[in-house]
A and B are shown apart, each in its own frame.
Chain A
Amino acid sequence: MSNHNLSRRWPTTLLAGVLASALFTTTYAAEEEIYTFFRAEELGYRIGDGDSFNWDAEGWVGGDYNKLWFKTEGERVNGNGVENAEVQLLYSRLIADFWDLQAGLRYDFNPEPERGFAVIGVEGLAPYWFEIDASAFISDQGDVSARFKAEYDLLLTQKLILSPLLEMNLAASSDEKRGVGSGLNDLELNLTLRYEVVREFAPYIGVSWERKYGQTADFARAEGEDIERTTFMVGVRFWF
């Protein structure tokens, strides 16, 4: 599908659709149908080199081609309070069968000082079944950074799924107040095993390995923090 003429009269369609769907039941999608989605990919504890509560969730409201996305992720470290917390609000548009182009705003409540960012990214399914989320950010201080996430589902059975995940953060310049150096900031590798009791609900266990690199690692050392962390993960993944 390359050339759709769409209900891409967005955002009018999106807004009209939201209103219409609230007011009427449609016959056969004579109007663009609006759906809402929320998924917590990670909601649980990481225990080991420092215990923490972690969340990573996203959701959207919209039609087939245009959506409003919401993403949030963060970490609350026992004894230290919330170390990281960010939210993103994005407009998302289907640009190819498997890919959405997303643009909008990100706001980090932690670490301090708080920062706002403009975001542009792509999210979708790459060949060979890799789920990809790649974003570039420019902060209100003018710092450019990027994040790349890839995840793969290996079906041990129809319901027992082993899922490796890779995440890395990069920055073009340093933002020392927030402990962000230029270059590769950090790398995270997770391996989770989840059991889909139903598609929508899956408890998981896993192991996570995180490491900071380069200048970012230097900043962490200067603060007396570890630059490497290995944890055991337990929690639930769900969507509706």
Chain B
Amino acid sequence: MSRYLFATAALLLATATQAATYDLTIGKTPVNVTGQPRKAITVNGQLPAPLLRFQEGEEVVLNVTNALDTDSSLHWHGFILPYTMDGAPGFGFAGIKPGETFTYRFKIQQSGTYWYHSHSDMQEQAGLYGPIIIEPVKPEPYRYDRDYVIMLSDWTDQKPHTVMSKLKKQSDYYNYSQQTVADFFREVSAKGWDAAVQNRLDWGQMRMMATDIADVAGYTFLVNGRTPEQNWSGLFKPGERVRLRLINGSAMSIFDVRIPGLKMTVVQADGNNVTPTPVDELRISVAETYDVIVQPQDDQAYTLFAESLDRAGYARATLTPREGMSGVIPELRPRPLLTMADMAGHGGMHHGSMAGMNHESMAGMEAETIDHSKMDHGSMAGMDHSSMAGMDHSTMNHGGAANAEQTPANQVKPNPQSGLYPTAANGGKFLIYNDLRAMTAYPGYRAPDREIEVRLTGNMERYIWTLNDEKFVDADPIRLKYGERVRLKLTNTTMMTHPIHLHGMWMQLDVGKGAFNPLKHVISVLPGQTVYADVSVDAKGEWPFHCHLLYHMHAGMMRKVIVDDSGASI
């Protein structure tokens, strides 16, 4: 079993630090990503920040110096550690003042692929993110010959506060794919006059846009800090097994990733081993990680192609047997259009036009007892079953529901009628959450003690993002009792995908595999979808719980979770 871990990673990314003490300096570094000179926020002058390589069980000491003229911080994303070391200002940690050094000390209690980033002032949009590899104590249950980090990110020449300000003043500022008069007539010729008009009326009635996939545009997508033209490359010898550690360090961008000509075998998700699953393509949401193993057999270059969800652009890397080669770059697929299924969780929708929904068959349903505005017709996910007495489920046509049986596991599946339904470019297998099965049973698995509903909410028009309709600044903390097991019900009432991140504790996403449900630090909840995740409340302190889309978090889509012995309920 040959490994070239250290040599290759160190050579290709950055200086891999091996000592137990790490000195990191946050500063500004001139960069030129788009042709315009800009200053990135970096660690030790590097974009992305240097690869940190820890050992499971190691006591790490990280001296982080802030050379900026504003507060900063480093947060160890997905780490199990004391909350005062988590690096989120306002959560038992004061941030790092300009010119000061903060020393993080904690024991590494896990292994796998992780990352770190600023939790201050939207600095991760400006470059303050880097990869982390934690070597396990026990050998991993798969083998590979080479190991590369593939850190995806989105770069903009605009300052993050400028982006935020534009969005607050004109929420569709960055959407240059809005439907025009010409688009309307194209739709008329494709679907006929009535359908085209009805479609416009449906969207107009809601005052929402089918093209509203991403809030921010103008991004240059990077792999390990390299643009598509700069083409980050990794070497292989035909027949070798190559481990790719995919990390999405973007502020706002979700990617569909594939390597034409190669199957990717997913072996890890969010740092945790899963039953190896071969796929043709996968969707990596913001702040998630996936480890895949590929085995290129031919003496040719392969393109790793990561298309942004709105198809505005792509990040690209190359796996090649020799330096200087490059593979075919696929065409971007057409920009997707949201459908009424994606609007299913939206309160003000026009019910008459809902695709596939059959009102006539909803016999036994007492109209006055049901609040349609809170119902998620597309996937029946946001339904409050307890209040629906007298409703005969068996006679209902749930429209977009993929399966008649509405188990939590089924609800994780994307709705086939969604405009964002993942489809592999080659028609093959596209990874979905239901494919994830933990390699080992979670020892903390048991029935939850209680359920907490968190609705993912927002006002798109005014760019206000909230949880349960409240901004972070206005909301009371969520209080959990140390030792309890809580079921989170995440109901997405918006038309955007939200990667929901809990600090300090794992979320065990219910995909119907019991103790083998995967442990995640980020759960990406699709428009109109409801998913369930169980949390063993095993870490006292104050923890952020938020949407990992940077501008959503900044706008208020966050909560403080307080864990103590009393855990007075919310």
Contact = CB atoms under 8 A, between A and B. Distances in A.
Q: Do A and B come from one complex?
A: yes
Interface of A: 1-7, 25-32, 35, 37, 64, 94, 97-98, 125, 127-129, 154-158, 199, 239
A25 B470 contact: no
B90 A30 contact: yes
Interface centre among B90, B461, B474, B475 (most CB of A within 10 A): B474
Please give me the 10 A-B residue pairs with the lowest Cβ-Cβ distance, nearest first: A128-B204, A155-B180, A158-B176, A64-B464, A97-B459, A127-B205, A27-B89, A1-B469, A35-B168, A37-B169
Majority SS at the chain B contact face: loop
Given A30-B473, A97-B348, 7 more contacts: A25-B121, A27-B121, A31-B473, A32-B473, A64-B168, A127-B207, A155-B180
Nearest to A9: B474
Contacts of A28: 90, 119, 122, 472, 553-554, 558
Interface in B432-467: 457-459, 461-462, 464, 466
A155 B181 contact: yes
Contacts, number: 96
Given A1-B459, A1-B466, A98-B207, A29 B95 contact: no
A120 B386 CA distance: 43
B220 to A, nearest CB: 19
Given A127-B205, A128-B205, A156-B181, A239 B169 contact: yes
A95 to B, nearest CB: 12
Contact of B178 (A4, A6, A155): A155
Interface string B177-190: 11111100000000
A90 B205 CA distance: 28
B180 A157 contact: yes
A29 B472 contact: yes
B173 interface: yes
A27 B121 CA distance: 5
Interface in B532-570: 553-556, 558
Contact of B90 (A27, A32, A94, A154): A27
Interface of B: 70-71, 89-90, 95, 119-122, 165-166, 168-170, 173, 176-182, 201, 204-207, 348, 457-459, 461-462, 464, 466, 469-475, 553-556, 558
Contact of B556 (A29, A35, A155, A158): A29
A29 B180 contact: no
Nearest to A98: B461
A127 B165 contact: no
A4 B176 contact: no
B178 A94 contact: no
B347 to A, nearest CB: 8
A64 B462 CA distance: 7
A204 B110 CA distance: 61
A4 B558 CA distance: 15
Contacts of B470: 4-5
Contact of A199 (B119, B173, B466): B173
22 contacts: A1-B464, A1-B469, A4-B469, A5-B475, A25-B70, A25-B71, A27-B71, A27-B95, A27-B121, A28-B554, A29-B471, A29-B555, A30-B473, A35-B168, A35-B169, A64-B462, A156-B182, A158-B176, A158-B177, A158-B180, A199-B166, A199-B170
A154 B179 CA distance: 9
A141 to B, nearest CB: 37
B121 to A, nearest CB: 6
Nearest to B558: A28
B182 to A, nearest CB: 8
B166 to A, nearest CB: 8
Nearest to A30: B90
Contacts of A35: 165, 168-169
Contact of B473 (A29, A37, A97): A29
A27 B120 contact: yes
Contacts of B558: 28
A157 B201 CA distance: 20
A199 B178 CA distance: 13
A116 B204 CA distance: 38
A31 B466 CA distance: 15
Contact of A129 (B166, B207, B473): B207
A159 to B, nearest CB: 8
A185 to B, nearest CB: 30
A3 B459 CA distance: 13
A172 B170 CA distance: 36
Nearest to B120: A27
Nearest to A3: B469
Nearest to A154: B181
A127 B554 CA distance: 28
Contacts of B555: 29
Given A35-B169, A127-B205, A7 B469 contact: no
Contact of B461 (A2, A30, A97, A155): A97
A205 to B, nearest CB: 18
